[in-house]
A and B are shown apart, each in its own frame.
Chain A
Amino acid sequence: MAEPLTDDRDLLDRVRRGDPGGAGELFERYAPAILRFADRLLSDRATAEEVTQEVFLKVIARANQYDGRASVASWLFAIAANACRDRRRRDRRAPVVPLELLPDPPDKGEGAERRLLDRERRDAVRQALAGLSEEQREALVLARYHGMPYAEVAHILGISVGAVKTRIFRAVESLKARFHQAGEAPGAPRKGETSWNAAN
Chain B
Amino acid sequence: MECRELTARTLDRRLGEADEDSLRELDGHLAGCRACRAEASAIEETWAALGDDRDAEMTPEFRERSLLLLEDEMMRLRIRAFRPKPRTVPNLARAAALLLAVLAGYLAARGLPGARRKAPEPPTAASRLPDLSESPRLSNVSYRPADKEGRIGVSFDMSSRQDFVARPEDPAMAKLLSYLVARNAETAGEKSRAIELVSANYGRSGAVASPDIVQALTATLRNDPNPGVRKKAADALASFRMSPEIRGAFLHALRNDRNPAIRVVAVDRLAAAAKEAPDAQTIDTLREKAFDSQENGFVRAKAASALKAIDL
Contact = CB atoms under 8 A, between A and B. Distances in A.
Interface of A: 15, 18-20, 23-24, 27-28, 31-32, 35-36, 39-40, 45-50, 52-54, 56-58, 60-61, 96-97, 99, 101-106, 118, 121-122, 124-126, 129, 143-145, 149-150, 165, 168-169, 172-173, 175-176, 179-180, 185-188
A186 B46 contact: yes
A126 B283 CA distance: 38
A71 to B, nearest CB: 18
Which are the 3 A-B pairs with shortest beta-carbon distances?
A186-B49, A187-B48, A187-B49
Nearest to A59: B70
Interface in B166-213: 186-189
A53 B17 contact: no
Interface in B93-147: none
Contact of B42 (A103, A169, A176): A176
B74 A27 contact: no
A186 B45 contact: yes
Given A39-B56, A172-B46, 4 more contacts: A49-B227, A143-B15, A145-B50, A179-B46
Contacts of A176: 42-43, 46
A99 B225 CA distance: 19
A125 B53 contact: yes
Given A46-B227, A57-B189, A168-B11, A105 B296 contact: yes
A172 B83 CA distance: 54
A125 B49 CA distance: 7
Contacts of A150: 15, 17
B58 A32 contact: yes
B60 interface: no
A15 B70 CA distance: 10
27 contacts: A15-B74, A18-B77, A18-B78, A24-B70, A31-B58, A31-B63, A32-B57, A35-B56, A35-B58, A36-B56, A50-B188, A56-B70, A57-B73, A58-B187, A61-B186, A97-B260, A97-B261, A118-B52, A118-B54, A125-B50, A129-B50, A168-B15, A169-B8, A173-B7, A176-B46, A179-B49, A185-B42
Contact of A50 (B43, B50, B58, B227): B227
B188 A149 contact: no
Contacts of A60: 70, 73-74, 77
A165 B228 CA distance: 35
Nearest to B226: A53
Given A52-B66, A172-B46, A185-B42, A24 B293 contact: no
Given A54-B188, A144-B50, A176-B46, A18 B81 contact: yes
A187 B73 contact: no
A50 B75 contact: no
Contact of B66 (A39, A53, A168, A186): A53
Interface of B: 7-8, 11, 15-17, 42-58, 62-63, 66-67, 69-71, 73-75, 77-78, 81, 186-189, 226-228, 231, 259-261, 264, 293-299
B187 A61 contact: yes
B306 to A, nearest CB: 15
Given A143-B15, A187-B45, A46 B261 contact: yes
Contacts of A169: 7-8, 11
Contact of A144 (B16, B47, B57): B47
A58 to B, nearest CB: 8
Given A104-B297, A149-B15, A187-B44, A172 B55 contact: no
Contacts of B55: 36, 145
Contacts of B46: 172, 175-176, 179, 186-187
A55 B260 CA distance: 22
A122 B54 contact: yes
B225 to A, nearest CB: 8
B188 A106 contact: no
Nearest to B199: A94
Most buried by A among B49, B56, B62, B228: B49
Contacts of A173: 7
Contacts of B7: 169, 172-173
B296 A102 contact: yes
